[in-house]
Chains A and B, each alone.
Chain A
């Protein structure tokens, strides 16, 4: 048990680090754009001082470009805040659709770096479960990390949620590159520990080109 807790702690920290590093990289990109636009304004101001007329519409476009980046940064920071608060309660009633949406938003940049598109297909109605939001996102990321290396030429991972009799399930589909070969290495120890903690099951099907995670409706149900 001690060993499992250590594995979960380690994988959780690695996940937190991976996500915050990606978020900070995105914020850096936004700052770089604002920096260049501010610099361009400075260049225009110097040109105006030298008697060169600057088109007001050009200045307005610059201002709009900066505002667009501020809105982008605001969204990034809001998602970062939601992610940070996912650690507030170790057990919470959540909508799996919302958890998936946040996991996808956080993973989008990392997916894009691997030229992979994430396509969430949440069930239309809420999929309520009682679970550990942070560790569920951690498990989703580990499955996604595995799935993104097996997308084949399609370069798409489809993520669908569904309510089940015992809780919920999450399907990572369209894994065209999923073959029998790597299945003995997944799930590995970190995934197994999280599956145990979350009372979840993982089924990898090379035939259906998908990974299915069956999640308990309430991880505290037998206490």
Chain B
């Protein structure tokens, strides 16, 4: 299965070109041009990795990151930043973002970070699955408990 990536940036031409490049690298890409739209999409669909611009009109990248970590904590987030917003990207890392990249970014570097982010998500999902299996084996009645 392809890695599901959501690319969020208010610069439409940037989104078009980068999404095409990532699709050529075999990612399943969805795009979003605003924080509001991104939050809606994240609520209704499971993405593996979100590439998120820090500085956007309206709901900014940090607010979107908070929403992602609240509703889909395992989804990994890579922040994109201009030079003026590096501090914000670092704040994003403190809030649980996987990593950040400066614009204009090197696509191969982004590709590597997406792969690493996906690997961490897969590993965490596997640990949760293993813990649930172990719980069921040690106490079969645990399947009746609410999550």
Interface residues of A (CB under 8 A from B): 21, 24-25, 28-29, 31-37, 39-40, 43, 47, 65, 68-69, 112-115
B residues less than 8 Å from A113 (CB atoms):
55-57, 60
B residues less than 8 Å from A32 (CB atoms):
11, 14, 103-105
B44 to chain A, nearest CB (A): 24
Question: Known interface pairs A29-B11, A33-B11. Does A65 touch B17 (Cβ–Cβ under 8 Å)?
Answer: yes
One of B18-26, B70-78, B121-129 at the interface: B18-26
**18 A-B residue pairs with CB within 8 Å:** A21-B84, A25-B85, A29-B11, A29-B82, A32-B104, A32-B105, A34-B104, A35-B105, A37-B17, A39-B21, A40-B17, A40-B20, A65-B16, A65-B17, A112-B57, A113-B55, A115-B57, A115-B58
Interface residues of B (CB under 8 A from A): 11, 13-14, 16-18, 20-21, 24, 55-58, 60, 82-85, 103-105, 107
CA distance A32 to B102 in the complex (A): 10
A65 to chain B, nearest CB (A): 6
CA distance A40 to B21 in the complex (A): 6
- Most chain B beta-carbon contacts within 10 A, residue among A43, A68, A114: A43
Given A37-B13, A112-B57, list of 12 further CB < 8 A pairs? A21-B84, A24-B82, A25-B85, A28-B104, A29-B14, A29-B103, A31-B103, A33-B14, A43-B24, A47-B24, A69-B13, A113-B55
Could you tell me the dominant secondary structure of chain B's interface residues?
helix
Work out how many contacts link A and B, with CB atoms closer than 8 A.
Answer: 61
The 4 A-B pairs with the shortest beta carbon distances in the complex, nearest first, are: A35-B104, A36-B17, A32-B103, A32-B104
Q: Are A39 and B14 in contact (CB under 8 A)?
A: no
CA distance A68 to B107 in the complex (A): 22
- Most chain B beta-carbon contacts within 10 A, residue among A24, A28, A34, A113: A28
A42 to chain B, nearest CB (A): 9
B residues less than 8 Å from A114 (CB atoms):
57
CA distance A115 to B107 in the complex (A): 30
- Most chain B beta-carbon contacts within 10 A, residue among A24, A33, A69, A114: A33
B residues less than 8 Å from A34 (CB atoms):
104
